[in-house]
Structures are given as C-alpha cells and as structure tokens.
Amino acid sequence: MMGFRFRKSINVAPGVRLNVSKSGGSWSFGKRGATVNVGRRGTYADVGIPGSGLSYRRKLDARSGASRSIAIIFLVLTALYFLGRFVH
C-alpha cells in the first residue's frame, strides 16, 4: 500500500521559508545553494550546487560549540545580506 505525503513551503520573507508537512513544520533560512533548516528533528546546514542535484547536508549538533558557531555565523551573514538588499 502506498502512503500519501504532504509538504508545503511558504515564503515568509526573502530568504525565510516556513515548511509545513504532515509530520510537522520547520524553518529554512538562506538562499538556493546554502540554507540552514531548523525543525523538531534538529538543525541542519545544507550546501549544494543549484540545478545539479549535488548537495551536502550536515546536522548541527547543539552539543558541539563549533557547529553552533557555524550556524550562528551563517544566520548572521544571511540576515546582513538580506538587510543590505532592503536598505538601498
């Protein structure tokens, strides 16, 4: 028997998406090719080459200070990038 799947992605702001599925919701921050996803299963960093199908995903473990630092730096840089686009 086949199961049905449901997933919807809603653009909240440039670079910010709310992802809703049957199993819950999550937030994505970033652009095509580099995003940080925050959900009930944890925080993940995704980096890829858009259009190629090639990507790398890594869970950012809260116990690891280095991974947490990378996530914070990525989020700050993404926020600064998008703020710069609106302040012109």
Name the pTM for this structure: 0.62
Q: Two tokens at 81?
A: 């990038």
pLDDT digits (tens, 9 = 90+) for 35-54: 888 888 888 888 888 888 88
Sheet holding 16-21, edge to edge: 7-13, 16-21, 24-31, 34-39, 42-49, 54-60
* Residue range 16-42: mean pLDDT, rounded: 87
Buried b or exposed e, range 23-58, using 16+ CB within 10 angstroms: eeebebbbeeebbbbbeeeebbbeeeeeeeeeeeee
Which H helix or E strand runs over 77? helix 65-86
